[in-house]
Amino acid sequence: MKNFFILFAGLTCLTILFITCETEKFDTIPTGDEMTVIEGNNYTTDTNIQGINNGCTTIQSGELVDSDGETLTTGYNEWGYNYQARKFNGYYCDAYKNAAWCQPYVDVSLSMKWNDAWISNQDCDGDGLLDRHFGFDTYRGSGAWLTNHQSGTYTNEDGEECHWNYFVKIVAAPMDAYAEGGIFYNSDGTEIGPQIWGDFAIIQQVENDPCAGIHGLQYVSPDHAGLGNW
């Protein structure tokens, strides 16, 4: 049986620091148009060819770099990151530049999407890097979110090849939320979801692994599972 794991990609830093208003429920992994994605900050917009947008430096300027000092460009890079589109498509280890520690997961397919509050596609604070939680001191209350979709295969004890997939939505906890017993709650005591990475909460999990008897929705936030209004 495969062991579940979640990737928290630092994205531009490539380190492990790393809208709906209605609740969404899925019995299978959502793809494409099944997910409604709305950006988290009001300065989000498609950047222009001049490299400047409302005073913010864009990827098209050729002036922005990642944490390794490599110039960012539009489209997918060699590792599967598309910072302009706020997406990653590749394999688990690609997200960490094929680091030695992640080799057990090298065959796991991974797709991620995120909003501007998680990592923007422009620099509005002038530090030469893509913005994170712009306008907020930390991710708390920023409305940041990430979706993570993994899939792969393994061989069980009976020699059967098993195919599995996993989907999760993760949001930054609201400013007035509180954690208790590993669960985040909103200010009126409604459960948001399991706490992860300190200031983040899981609001939805979908998993399918027929060999293990796992099918469909595994968790949905009692507050709401839409990506907006956090």
Tokens of 128: 């030469």
| Spatial distance between the Cα atoms of 120 and 114, rounded to a whole number of angstroms | 9
- The confidence score (pLDDT) of residue 214 equals 97
**Would you say residue 150 lies in a domain?**
yes
**Would you say residue 91 lies in a domain?**
yes
Query: In this model, does residue 36 exceed pLDDT 70?
Result: no
Number of domains in the chain: 1
Band the pLDDT of 34: cuts 50, 70, 90: very low
Domain around 50: 11-23+45-220
**Would you say residue 33 lies in a domain?**
no
**Would you say residue 53 lies in a domain?**
yes
**Would you say residue 205 lies in a domain?**
yes
What is the longest distance spanned by two Cα atoms in the chain?
60
Residue-wise pLDDT for 77-134, tens only, equals 999 999 999 999 999 999 999 999 999 999 999 999 999 999 999 999 999 999 999 9
**Would you say residue 61 lies in a domain?**
yes
Query: In this model, does residue 53 exceed pLDDT 90?
Result: no
**Would you say residue 30 lies in a domain?**
no
**Would you say residue 39 lies in a domain?**
no
Closest CA to 109 of 157, 149, 65, 57: 149
Exposure on the CB side of residue 212, measured as CA atoms within 13 A: 18
